[in-house]
Structure formats: structure tokens, C-alpha cells
């Protein structure tokens, strides 16, 4: 008998269940989405993001985002993801920014030496100051992870209230991507004497540039 | 109850520095939790605990169904599921995969399940390098120690201990500044991440309807472990299942807040299958190891089964007056504190460490803070009675039975009882405070026995 059969058989024996039995009905998931003016999302996101040590910039239109980035990137070298929104904002056209990677090894090499990683964000959660990243041809995983600084540039329309609203919009993230990551603040540890240190393995600095959505 | 490691417990109790470290770390974690679940911040807290308990109960009660559903979905997204009955099978699987792929270096993120099976030691015997990448676990691996706490594994070490461990093992200068120590670890481990052939993570949740592994962390090492190497293996106990991705709101809200007071930890990864077509990075192969290792033994008892609801937040450790004095290493297994005291006897048999369920004042703090409402004190009592029953079957615990036998005989013979009661009043004050009585009296006042017994007083009343 295979280990699979042994484990399943032991489980059934312990529970006194026959093979192939369906479970009893499960109550619908309780998703708590607050009733809130969507205009408040931006302020709330900003408060929570900055409480975690992040820094928020706001641009009235896409064209204003690139100068904010240029200021941040002075004397630094950055890798940007293939997110179309970054091109819309003119970020990929900046001289310090390397972009357009489609091959793993080249991307890894660039990310391990870059000072800054620039991505967009698929969603952002106001209640916790969280960025939500779905891996795709447009968004590689390592850009928000290897460089010591992470900058996310995204339109205001991607703000959601909280985790439960995200799970309402994406009831099963696996249908969209092999990897969804929620990022809530800079990488941190308190493993030695409970002293908080930022940037242990991931980025120690995190920035969000939110662009007013076209109406 | 005998058998507890009294010598090492005495050492812990008399080590002032260690006592301070445990006290302040657990105190800080308690304060953080209290600040995150208060009625003003999370008014629905009790409701969430109740939901979490019901969801876990439902999943565990129908575990075979959810295991198979999870398995089907992992396969649908291109991953593979490997069932293992024990630690040997996990090691065999990883070794044979490593051999087939020519792998030499494995990076690991924090996983209590792999601690349970001495994963690293097993691989090292076969010339495979397995490196822990969580900062605390990395320090412990260099020092050859096991975790002191489920969430804060190195809470018993100071920066000076870390400085010594680093300079001895990494050939670096003696460095006592914590920021710089963290930097040393970042540089040393970054090189490992980029060179590793296989990444091994644990799992906080296995999501049945998505075939996904959910990993929460603060450092980013679990993200690196699961996305830099070409192979990702998640090792998880079969009890980690939850039915649906939409249930994550309940569990993630409770886990971060109960563990460290964070509404969400820094990183929450929801991983399903290897990278898909067009995705630039991520693993080419994705495996989930579903480990039994004794868990099906716990399932058989409908009441004790709830021990499997645990989401490993560590809150019961932080709030336990026993853990806070004796620390993590005096518990016989990787799981310490109240949760360790209820699951260890169930995994290893009640007679292996019979003192464990008795090492509790039954104050109930653990049950009060448990995010999934496990009735820990009730299970401790149940296990105590199982210990005594088992000892009787084994012909152990003779002393206690003999004492209670005499007691029962005295109580059913009124004349003898009255005579002894009179003698007690006369002789009790003269008892020398040595031996067992002396030990007991060293911390307490000996109650005074009245000169006249109640019986006597009643008769002579009028």
C-alpha cells in the first residue's frame, strides 16, 4: 500500500468515515467589508502605510509620477517590472531604470545588484497599508524582493478596503496566478533581543506612488 | 508527579539573565497582542475566534475529503502532492529528488514541522547542505540548538551570544550591534539563496479549494526560499488544511494579531503550483509534502482532536505562568508551552513524559488567548487522568495508590479517624520541617491544626 493510501486510510479510520463521503454543508464565508466612502481609502492607506515605515507620494496624473521617481533614484540604479502602468507613467523611460526582462537568469542578475526595484501593484488594502502583488509576465517576484528598496507605482482605483474585499474580488487567487503576495511594510525582524531591525532579507525601505485615476 | 527534568529546570530558574530574557520577551508579545485584539480595535474578535474554531472543526472532522480536494487542486495547477507517514519518508523523498536533480544546497524557511522530524540532520548525513534562513533559526542552527519558542525561536539569546556564535562559525569580527549582526546574516544568506537548488518552506495554511500553500513571515526569507530556487517543497502537517481561500480573512486576522500584534505580517504568500507560462521567475517544480507523523493518532479521540486546530501563534506560551518560568528547552519536544503539554503526550504516548500535563496551574490563560478556542485546560485534565490510568496498568504510581488506599480506609472507619484527628491536633505542631514537608513549607505557611476537632467541639457544645 502506498503512503498516500496509508495516510488516508488512517484518517478515515480515526474519523470513522467511509471513502468518498461528502462533508456536511459549510456556512458561507464571512467576508467583512466595511461600508466606507471610497474617497477615504487613500487617506487610510497612507496612514497605515506610513505607520509601518513606508513613504507615500501622490501624483495628480500619470505624467507626474516619473519626476517623483527621478528624484528618488538620484545616483541609483533601478530595475522595473513589465507592468504597462509603469510605461504609462513614463517610469521605464528614465535613464536609471532597466526594464523589459523576460528571462529568469538575466532578471536575477539585474535584481541582485540593483539599488531599487520598481513594480506596480495589482491591489492595495487601505485598512492594513498592504500592497498586493500577483506574479505574471508583467510582474516578476524578485523585483519587489531582492533590491534593498521597493517602489510600487499604481493608480488610485486599485485601492480596496481590506483583505476581505480582496477575497471578494479574487475568491480564488490560484485561478489568476501561481503566486499572490501581500506586502505589509518593509522586511523586518525582531529575532535578536526583540529589537526591531528593518531590511533583513527583503527591502528595508518601501515607497508607494499613487496616481490619481483618470475620471 | 516525578520524571520532570528538575535539574535543568532549576538551572533555568536560577539563571537571572535567562529569566529576564523570557520575562521581557513574553511580556512584550503579550502587550503587542493586547494592543491588537482590544474591543476598540477589533470588535469582532470573539466572533472571529468562534468562526475559526468552527472552520477548523469542520475541516478536521472531514479531513479525508479536504485532503483529497487539496490534492486534486495542487495537481490541477501543475504541482505534486507527496504523502508521508513519518519523518523517514520525508527525508527519503527529498534525498531522492535532490539526487535526481543533482542538487547540493537547500535553503529553508522556518517550519516547526521540519523541526519535528530533524530534517536538517538527516540531510546533512547525506552530504546535502540545508541552511535555515530565518534569522533566529539561522543563529540556532549555527549554535546547534532547538527553537525556544514557536514564534521567537532565539528569544533566550542575547546580542553577546549571537556575536560569539557568528564569530566562531562565520569567521567574522566580534560584532555586538544588532543592526550589523542582521546585516552579516543578510549577506551570508543572500549568497545561499542565489545558489540554492531547492527551497523548503513550511505552511501556515493549506487551502483546499485552491491547492495553495499559504506562508506568513516578516523577514522575506520564506519568499526568497519559495521563489529563488528552481524547486519549491512545502512540508506541512495534514492538519494545516482550511476549506477555502475566502476563509483566510478569519485566520490571517487572528494569526498575526495573536502572535505579534500585527494586523497582517509583513509578507503573506499564497502559492499554487510552479510558475506558469510567461511568468518570468518562480520555481519550475512545486511539491507539497503532507505529513502524518502521528497526527492520525490524535484524530481518533473526538475530544482531544481539537489539539489539531492549533495555528501555532505562540500566544499560549507567552501567557503561561509555567512557560514564563521554565522557558522552552525544558519541554521534551519542539512544541513547548501549553500547546506542547497537550500535543506531546498524544504524539509520544502519555508515559514518555508523564509530568507534562501536570506542569500547569490550570489557570486558564492559554484557553483565554487561543485564537481558535482550543480548550487546553480541559485537555490537560483529560491527559492527567490518562497518565494515571496508564500508570496503573503498568503497575506504576504505587506510592500514590497506597496513600489513597490508607486514606479511604481511615475515612470509612470513624473511630480510627477520630483518634487520628485528636492525635493530629496534638502532634502536628511538633513535626520537623524536613524532607518533602520541608520542601513544601519552604514556600508556604503550614496551616495550623486546631487543638479541638470539630467533632469534639460539637459534642461538648451545649
| pLDDT tens track for A74-132 | 999 999 999 999 999 999 999 999 999 999 999 999 999 999 999 999 999 999 999 99
Are both B135 and B283 inside the same structural domain?
A: yes
Ramachandran angles phi, psi of B192, nearest 5°: -65, -45
Convert the pLDDT of each residue in B259-278 to its tens digit.
Answer: 999 999 999 999 999 999 99
Task: Please report the DSSP string for B163-229 in residue order.
Answer: HHHHHHHH-------HHHHHHHHHHHHHHHHHH-SEEEE--SEEETTTTEEEEEESSSHHHHHHHSS
Element (H, E) at A152: strand A149-155
Q: Report pLDDT for B4.
A: 78
- Which residue of A lies nearest to B78 if distances are taken between CA atoms? A178
**Mean pLDDT across chain A, nearest whole number?**
96
| Closest CB from A7, A135, A171 relative to B245 | A171
CA distance A94 to A90: 7
The answer on pLDDT for B431 being more than 80 is no
Specify the range with the lowest mean pLDDT, choosing from A26-35, B113-122, B332-341: B113-122
Query: How far apart are the two ends of chain A, measured CA to CA in Å?
Result: 63
Q: Report pLDDT for B341.
A: 96
State whether A200 and B185 contact (CB < 8 Å): yes
Q: Report pLDDT for B48.
A: 97
CA distance A22 to chain B (A): 7
B116 touches chain A (CB under 8 A): no
**A135 touches A15 (CB < 8 A):** no
Find chain A residues with C-beta within 8 A of B282's C-beta.
135, 141, 178-179
pTM of the model: 0.92
- What average pLDDT score do residues B12-30 get? 95
Find chain B residues with C-beta within 8 A of A170's C-beta.
245
* CA proximity to A79, closest of A58, A66, A94: A94
CA distance B232 to B449: 69
Domain ranges across chain A: 36-211
Strands A188-189 and B212-217: unpaired
CA distance B85 to chain A (A): 6
Give residue for cell 526569507: B221
Give residue for cell 535543568: B8
State whether A11 and B299 contact (CB < 8 Å): yes
Strands A197-198 and A78-80: unpaired
A26 touches chain B (CB under 8 A): yes
- Asked if the structure places residue B59 within a domain, the reply is yes
Specify the range with the lowest mean pLDDT, choosing from B144-158, B331-345, B402-416: B402-416
State whether B182 and A189 contact (CB < 8 Å): yes
| Closest CB from B182, B210, B224 relative to A172 | B210
Q: For residue B327, what are the contacts with CB-CB under 8 A and spacing of at least 6?
A: B12, B18, B22, B148, B156, B336
Dihedral sign for Cα B170, B176, A190, A199, please.
Answer: negative
- Asked if the structure places residue B87 within a domain, the reply is yes
* Longest CA pairwise span in chain B (Å): 99
The answer on pLDDT for B401 being more than 90 is no
Q: For residue B68, what are the contacts with CB-CB under 8 A and spacing of at least 6?
A: A8
Q: Where are the alpha helices (DSSP H) in B117-158?
A: 119-124, 135-143
- Asked if the structure places residue B330 within a domain, the reply is no
Q: Report pLDDT for A200.
A: 95
* Distance set, CA A111 to CA A164, B156, B324, B424 (Å): 32, 36, 43, 82
- Which residue of B lies nearest to A169 if distances are taken between CA atoms? B246
CA distance A140 to A133: 9
State whether A187 and B219 contact (CB < 8 Å): yes
Nine cell digits for residue B318: 507567552
Reported as a pLDDT band with limits 50, 70 and 90, residue A215 is low
**Mean pLDDT across chain B, nearest whole number?**
93
Residue B152 domain boundaries: 6-296
CA distance B441 to B428: 13
CA distance B228 to B193: 7
**A68 touches A57 (CB < 8 A):** yes
Specify the range with the lowest mean pLDDT, choosing from A54-63, B31-40, B394-403: B394-403
DSSP state of B151: S
Q: For residue B144, what are the contacts with CB-CB under 8 A and spacing of at least 6?
A: none
| Closest CB from B44, B272, B281 relative to A107 | B281
- Asked if the structure places residue B61 within a domain, the reply is yes
State whether A191 and B267 contact (CB < 8 Å): no
CA distance B322 to B319: 9
Looking at per-residue pLDDT, the higher value among B353 and B438 belongs to: B353
Q: Report pLDDT for B2.
A: 58
- Which residue of B lies nearest to A165 if distances are taken between CA atoms? B249
Exposure b/e, B380-398, CB count within 10 A at least 16 = b: bebbbebbbebbeeeebbe
| Closest CB from A31, A142, A162 relative to B281 | A142
CA distance B254 to B50: 11
CA distance B133 to chain A (A): 9
Domain end position, chosen among B281, B296, B311: B296
Exposure b/e, B75-88, CB count within 10 A at least 16 = b: eebbbebbbbbebe
CATH of domain A36-211: 3.40.50.10420
* Burial status of residue B308 (CB atoms within 10 A of its CB: 0-12, 13-18, 19 or more): buried
CA distance B279 to chain A (A): 4
CA distance B59 to B206: 11
CA neighbours closer than 13 Å in the CB half-sphere of residue A214: 5
Q: Report pLDDT for B440.
A: 78
* Distance set, CA B264 to CA A102, A183, B14, B134, B218 (Å): 32, 9, 37, 18, 9
Element (H, E) at B73: helix B63-76
Find chain A residues with C-beta within 8 A of B44's C-beta.
32
| Closest CB from B154, B218, B296 relative to A11 | B296
What length is written for chain A?
Answer: 215
The answer for A37, left when phi > 0, alpha when psi is -120 to 50, beta otherwise, is: beta
| Closest CB from B152, B220, B281 relative to A191 | B152
Are both B45 and B180 inside the same structural domain?
A: yes
Find chain A residues with C-beta within 8 A of B226's C-beta.
179
| Closest CB from A142, A164, A188 relative to B218 | A188
Convert the pLDDT of each residue in B70-120 to its tens digit.
Answer: 999 999 999 999 999 998 999 999 999 999 999 999 999 988 888 888 888
Domain end position, chosen among B296, B318, B335: B296
State whether A201 and B190 contact (CB < 8 Å): yes
CA distance A166 to A130: 11
B19 touches chain A (CB under 8 A): no
Convert the pLDDT of each residue in B207-255 to its tens digit.
Answer: 999 999 999 999 999 999 999 999 999 999 999 999 999 999 999 999 9
- Asked if the structure places residue B271 within a domain, the reply is yes
State whether B66 and A136 contact (CB < 8 Å): no
Q: Report pLDDT for B424.
A: 76
B65 touches chain A (CB under 8 A): yes
Q: How many percent of chain B have pLDDT more than 90?
A: 80
Q: Report pLDDT for A214.
A: 66
DSSP state of A24: P
The answer on pLDDT for A42 being more than 70 is yes
**A78 touches A116 (CB < 8 A):** yes
Q: Report pLDDT for B229.
A: 98
Query: A136 by DSSP, 3-state: which?
Result: coil
Give residue for cell 532597466: A98
The answer on pLDDT for B445 being more than 70 is yes
Q: What's the number of domains chain B is made of? A: 2
- Which residue of A lies nearest to B41 if distances are taken between CA atoms? A127
Find chain A residues with C-beta within 8 A of B273's C-beta.
174, 178
- What average pLDDT score do residues A184-194 get? 96
Most A CBs within 10 Å, among B23, B87, B264, to test the A interface: B264
- Asked if the structure places residue B401 within a domain, the reply is no
Q: For residue A115, what are the contacts with CB-CB under 8 A and spacing of at least 6?
A: A76, A77, A78, A147, A148, A149
Q: What order of strands is seen across the sheet that includes strand A78-80?
A: A55-59, A205-211, A149-155, A116-119, A78-80, A97-98
* Distance set, CA B263 to CA B67, B79, B120, B221 (Å): 29, 31, 32, 20
B24 touches chain A (CB under 8 A): yes
Q: Report pLDDT for B457.
A: 86
- What average pLDDT score do residues A20-38 get? 92
Find chain B residues with C-beta within 8 A of A186's C-beta.
266
**B133 touches B189 (CB < 8 A):** yes
The answer on pLDDT for B56 being more than 60 is yes
A18 touches chain B (CB under 8 A): no
CA distance A208 to B369: 35
Q: Give the count of beta carbons closer than 10 Å to the beta carbon of residue B35.
A: 11
Amino acid at each position: 500500500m502506498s503512503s498516500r493510501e496509508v495516510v488516508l486510510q488512517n484518517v478515515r479510520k480515526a474519523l470513522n468515515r467511509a471513502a468518498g463521503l461528502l462533508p456536511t454543508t459549510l456556512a458561507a464565508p464571512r467576508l467583512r467589508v466595511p461600508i466606507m466612502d471610497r474617497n477615504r481609502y487613500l487617506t487610510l492607506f497612507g496612514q497605515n502605510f506610513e505607520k509601518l515605515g513606508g513613504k507615500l507620494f501622490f501624483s495628480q496624473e500619470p505624467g507626474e509620477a516619473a519626476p517623483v521617481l527621478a528624484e528618488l533614484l538620484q545616483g541609483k540604479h533601478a530595475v522595473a517590472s513589465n507592468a504597462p502602468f509603469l510605461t504609462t507613467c513614463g517610469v521605464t523611460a528614465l535613464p536609471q531604470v532597466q526594464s523589459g526582462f523576460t528571462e529568469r537568469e538575466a532578471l536575477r542578475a539585474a535584481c541582485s545588484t540593483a539599488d531599487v526595484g520598481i513594480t506596480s501593484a495589482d491591489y492595495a488594502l487601505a485598512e492594513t497599508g498592504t500592497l498586493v502583488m500577483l506574479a505574471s509576465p508583467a510582474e516578476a517576484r524578485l523585483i519587489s524582493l531582492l533590491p534593498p528598496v521597493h517602489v510600487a507605482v499604481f493608480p488610485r482605483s486599485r485601492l480596496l478596503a481590506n483583505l476581505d474585499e480582496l477575497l471578494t474580488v479574487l475568491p480564488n487567487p490560484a485561478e489568476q496566478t501561481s503566486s499572490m503576495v501581500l506586502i505589509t511594510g518593509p522586511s523586518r525582524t525582531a529575532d535578536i533581543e526583540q529589537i526591531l531591525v528593518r531590511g533583513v532579507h527583503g527591502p528595508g525601505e518601501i515607497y508607494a506612488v499613487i496616481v490619481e485615476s483618470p475620471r | 508527579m516525578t520524571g520532570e527534568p528538575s535539574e535543568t529546570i532549576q538551572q533555568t530558574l536560577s539563571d537571572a539573565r535567562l529569566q529576564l530574557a523570557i520575562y521581557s520577551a513574553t511580556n512584550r508579545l503579550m502587550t503587542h497582542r493586547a494592543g491588537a485584539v482590544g474591543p476598540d480595535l477589533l470588535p469582532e474578535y470573539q466572533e472571529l475566534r468562534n468562526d475559526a474554531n468552527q472552520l477548523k472543526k469542520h475541516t478536521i472532522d472531514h479531513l479525508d475529503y479536504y485532503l483529497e480536494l487539496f490534492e486534486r487542486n495542487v495537481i490541477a495547477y501543475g504541482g505534486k502532492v507527496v504523502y508521508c507517514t513519518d519523518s523517514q519518508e520525508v527525508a527519503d523523498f527529498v534525498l531522492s529528488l535532490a539526487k535526481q536533480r543533482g542538487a547540493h544546497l537547500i535553503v529553508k524557511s522556518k517550519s516547526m514541522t521540519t523541526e519535528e522530524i530533524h530534517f536538517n540532520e538527516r540531510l546533512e548525513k547525506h552530504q546535502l547542505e540545508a541552511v535555515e534562513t530565518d534569522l533566529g533559526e539561522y543563529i540556532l542552527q549555527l549554535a546547534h540548538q532547538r527553537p525556544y519558542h514557536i514564534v521567537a525561536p532565539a528569544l533566550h539569546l542575547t546580542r553577546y551570544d549571537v556575536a560569539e556564535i557568528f564569530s566562531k562559525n562565520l569567521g567574522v569580527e566580534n560584532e555586538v550591534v544588532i543592526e550589523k549582526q542582521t546585516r552579516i546574516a543578510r549577506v551570508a544568506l543572500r549568497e545561499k539563496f542565489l545558489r540554492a537548488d531547492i527551497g523548503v518552506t513550511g505552511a501556515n495554511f493549506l487551502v483546499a479549494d485552491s491547492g495553495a500553500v499559504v506562508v506568513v513571515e516578516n523577514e522575506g526569507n520564506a519568499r526568497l526560499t519559495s521563489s529563488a530556487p528552481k524547486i519549491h517543497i512545502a512540508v506541512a502537517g495534514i492538519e494545516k488544511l482550511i476549506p477555502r481561500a475566502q476563509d483566510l480573512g478569519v485566520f490571517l486576522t487572528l494569526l498575526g494579531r495573536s502572535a505579534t500584534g500585527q494586523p497582517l505580517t509583513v509578507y503573506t504568500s499564497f502559492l499554487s503550483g510552479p510558475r506558469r507560462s510567461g511568468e518570468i521567475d518562480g520555481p519550475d517544480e512545486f511539491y507539497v509534502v503532507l505529513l502524518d507523523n502521528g497526527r492520525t493518532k490524535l484524530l481518533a479521540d473526538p475530544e482531544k482532536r481539537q489539539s489539531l486546530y492549533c495555528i501555532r501563534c505562540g500566544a499560549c506560551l507567552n501567557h503561561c505562568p509555567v512557560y514564563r518560568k521554565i522557558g522552552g528547552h525544558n519541554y521534551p519536544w519542539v512544541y513547548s508551552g501549553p500547546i506542547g503539554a497537550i500535543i506531546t503526550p498524544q504524539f509520544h504516548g502519555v508515559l514518555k513524559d508523564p509530568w507534562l500535563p501536570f506542569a500547569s496551574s490550570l489557570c486558564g490563560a492559554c484557553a483565554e488567548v487561543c485564537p481558535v478556542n482550543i480548550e487546553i485546560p480541559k485537555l490537560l485534565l483529560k491527559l492527567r487522568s490518562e497518565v494515571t490510568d496508564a500508570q496503573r496498568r503498568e503497575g506504576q504510581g504505587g506510592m500514590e495508590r497506597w496513600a489513597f488506599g490508607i486514606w479511604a480506609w481511615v475515612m470509612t472507619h470513624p473511630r480510627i479517624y477520630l483518634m487520628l484527628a485528636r492525635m493530629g491536633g496534638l502532634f502536628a505542631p511538633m513535626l520537623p520541617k524536613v524532607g518533602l514537608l520541608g520542601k513544601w513549607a519552604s514556600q508556604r505557611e503550614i496551616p495550623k491544626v486546631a487543638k479541638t476537632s470539630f467533632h469534639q467541639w460539637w459534642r461538648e457544645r451545649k
